[in-house]
A = this chain, B = another copy of it.
Amino acid sequence: MTYAKTAAFTTDQQQLARVAKALAHPARVAIIQFLASKKTCISGDIAAELPLSRTTVSQHLQELKALDLIRGEIDGLTVCYCLNTELLHQVHQQFTAFFIEATATGPVCGPEDACAC
B-contacting residues of A (Cβ < 8 Å)?
5-6, 8-10, 13-14, 16-17, 20-30, 32-33, 35-36, 39-41, 50-52, 71-73, 75, 80, 82-86, 88-89, 91-92, 95-96, 98-109, 113-117
- The copy count of this chain in the complex is 2
Nearest B residue to A14 via CB reads B26
Return A100 CB to nearest CB of chain B, in Å: 8
Query: Given A36-B102, A85-B108, does the pair A9, B21 have CB atoms closer than 8 Å?
Result: no
Is B41's CB under 8 angstroms from A117's CB? yes
Nearest B residue to A33 via CB reads B101
Is B36's CB under 8 angstroms from A9's CB? no
